């Protein structure tokens, strides 16, 4: 992961920190099952962002992992278990 992250030029990484994207008006239009995954110790994304997404996608499920920025890496077993449970609730069929 470090390799592909450092391949992004520094000026692009810096610009990502100050970009502003507001798609809140689109969130209520989402009709598909939605899973919001957050990391409680993410140094870049504030916890309020998950609350904001949840407010816009009322039917969304939210999962907070006790990890840093990469719950899929830092606690893969818990992440995969929660993802499997979400998929099972969406499809009504046990994931294999």
> Does some domain include residue 52?
yes
Q: What is the pLDDT of residues 41-96, one digit of tens each?
A: 988 778 788 888 999 999 999 999 999 989 999 999 999 999 999 999 887 655 44
> Does some domain include residue 20?
yes
Q: Could you tell me if 81 and 88 are in contact, meaning their C-beta atoms sit under 8 angstroms apart?
A: no
> Does some domain include residue 24?
yes
> Does some domain include residue 7?
yes
- Regarding pTM above 0.85, the answer is no
Count of domains for the chain: 1
Q: Could you tell me if 59 and 33 are in contact, meaning their C-beta atoms sit under 8 angstroms apart?
A: yes
Domain of 37?
2-91
Q: Dig out the tokens for 64 from the structure.
A: 């907070």
> Does some domain include residue 30?
yes
> Does some domain include residue 96?
no
Q: Does residue 35 surpass a pLDDT of 60?
A: yes
> Does some domain include residue 63?
yes
> Does some domain include residue 18?
yes
Q: Domain holding 31: CATH number? A: 3.40.50.1820
Pairing of strands 61-65, 35-39: parallel
């Amino acid at each position: 992961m470090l390799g592909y992250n450092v391949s992004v030029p520094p000026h692009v990484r810096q610009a990502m920190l100050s970009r502003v994207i507001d798609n809140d008006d689109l969130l209520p239009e989402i009709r598909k099952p939605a899973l919001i995954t957050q990391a409680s110790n993410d140094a870049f994304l504030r916890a309020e962002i998950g609350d904001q997404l949840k407010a816009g996608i009322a039917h969304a499920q939210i999962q907070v992992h006790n990890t840093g920025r990469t719950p899929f890496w830092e606690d893969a077993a818990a992440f995969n278990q929660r993802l499997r449970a979400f998929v099972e609730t969406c499809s009504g069929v046990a994931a294999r």
